[in-house]
Amino acid sequence: MDLSTSYLGISLPHPLVPGASPLADDLDTVKQLEDAGAAAIVLRSLFEEQITREQEATQIHLESHDDSFAEAVSYFPSPESFVLGPEEYLNHLRRVKQSVRIPVIASLNGMTPGGWLSYAHLIEQAGADALELNVYHAATDLETSGTEVERQTIAMLREVKRGLKIPVAAKLFPFFTAFAHFALQLDAAGADGLVLFNRFYDVDIDIKELDVLRTLHLSDSSELPLRLRGIAALAGRVKASLAVTGGVHTAVDVVKSTMAGAHVTQMVSALLKNGPGYLRKVRADLEAWMEENEWSSLNEMRGNMSQERVPNPNVYGRANYMLMLQSWERV
Ligand SMILES: Cc1cc2nc3c(=O)[nH]c(=O)nc-3n(C[C@H](O)[C@H](O)[C@H](O)COP(=O)(O)O)c2cc1C
């Protein structure tokens, strides 16, 4: 059974990759994931705010004793809220690289172009095989247009890519007005991969305490279809390789993602719920499913359900929408 794939120009034995999360915080867990057959591993993110804060603090310390900086950053989580500070991140990356043989993908997370992105070079020097650039932009600013959000994201990618040798994947939200067009621009700007989609972490309101509540729910497979649609729209149309993140829990989810056109399926919630060894089960289930359904390789099914290859590409658009609404029957 041939499960091999290529992602960001890196050959992988299969597409199962633990995604960015606390899973790679602990070296023992990282080794367990490698033993369970992880094809590569993505580290948690280092955030723009962490790097900028450190860079600005150094600058201000050198130049003045200005209080305005302290005021400006007081709404951000304190440095102690982060599991890894910027320097610790690099050290952790070096340690992970030393302990496993699988490719290690680091992650930078931010929303504006700027000096903080130079950290990509330190990440490269620390030994990362690739970089994921997570662009988490809530876009709630009344003055910032969709075009501007796209422009900033493309500028970030260009800035990261400048002089960097390792490949870069952009991890995106689904909420761009014309997502496929925007993805094509990222492709043209040199994205080696696109990771679809960031989850939008909901906030709720505590009506008694008048506070905003944070709850991190793990996903289930019902989150996958949104990703399938995004991947299916791009497969065969962009040079960048494609990764699914969000809702991959079973071998069937991997098959669907591959049929949509994904090169890699990242898993986080499934591994946090079931432990690193669950990867082994998903891989065994995948092989069993392929055997039963007479597929000898993932490559032959990759993209066979993409928008470009289905007989009626409109099934991903208004045709399905209209039929779906008409199909409702009162029970
Ligand atoms: C506890 C936790 C921490 C996460 N940390 C990061 C992170 O640091 N950077 C990032 O890009 N994504 C992060 N994610 C998002 C995951 O990489 C992934 O995109 C998301 O959980 C959807 O995949 P899933 O359905 O397999 O969980 C985190 C997710 C969880 C549950």
What are the tens digits of pLDDT across the range 181-211? 999 999 999 999 999 999 988 788 999 999 9
Nearest CA to ligand 1 atom 29: 21
What one-letter code names the amino acid at 205? I
For ligand 1, the distance from its centroid to the CA atom of residue 266, given in whole angstroms, is 10
Nearest CA to ligand 1 atom 27: 269
Any atom of ligand 1 within 6 Å of the Cβ of 250: no
The first and second tokens of residue 187, run together, are: 């492709």
Pair type for strands 211-214 and 203-206: antiparallel
Ligand 1 pocket check for 230: Cβ under 6 Å: no
Ligand 1: centre distance to CA 20 (Å): 5
Confidence (pLDDT) at 102: 98
First to last CA, the chain: 44
How far apart are alpha carbons 19 and 107 in whole angstroms? 10
Residue 171 CA: nearest ligand 1 atom is 11
For residue 204, how far is its CA from the centre of ligand 1 (angstroms)?
A: 19
Per-residue pLDDT of the chain (331 residues; tens, 9 = 90+): 999 999 999 999 999 999 999 999 999 999 999 999 999 999 999 999 999 988 887 666 556 555 555 555 567 788 888 888 899 999 999 999 999 999 999 999 999 999 899 999 999 999 999 999 999 888 889 999 999 999 999 999 999 999 999 999 999 999 998 999 999 999 999 999 999 999 988 788 999 999 999 888 999 999 999 999 999 999 999 999 999 999 999 999 999 999 999 999 999 999 999 999 999 999 999 999 999 999 999 999 999 999 999 988 888 988 889 998 999 887 6
- C-alpha 233/C-alpha 214 separation (Å) is 32
- Taking the CA of residue 195 as reference, the ligand 1 atom at the shortest distance is 19
152 lines ligand 1 (CB under 6 A): no
140: CB partners within 8 A, 6+ apart: none
Which among 268, 274, 278, 279 is the best mutation to test ligand 1's pocket, defined by most ligand atoms within 8 Å of the CB?
Answer: 268
DSSP assignment string, 166-233: S-EEEEE-S--TTHHHHHHHHHHTT-SEEEE------EEEETTTTEEEE------GGGHHHHHHHHHH
Q: Give the position of tokens 């400048």.
A: 162
Q: Across the chain, what does the average pLDDT equal? A: 93
Question: What pTM was estimated for this model as a whole?
Answer: 0.94
Distance, C-alpha 197 to centroid of its chain: 6
Q: Which of 21, 253, 278 to mutate to test the pocket of ligand 1 (most atoms within 8 A of CB)?
A: 21
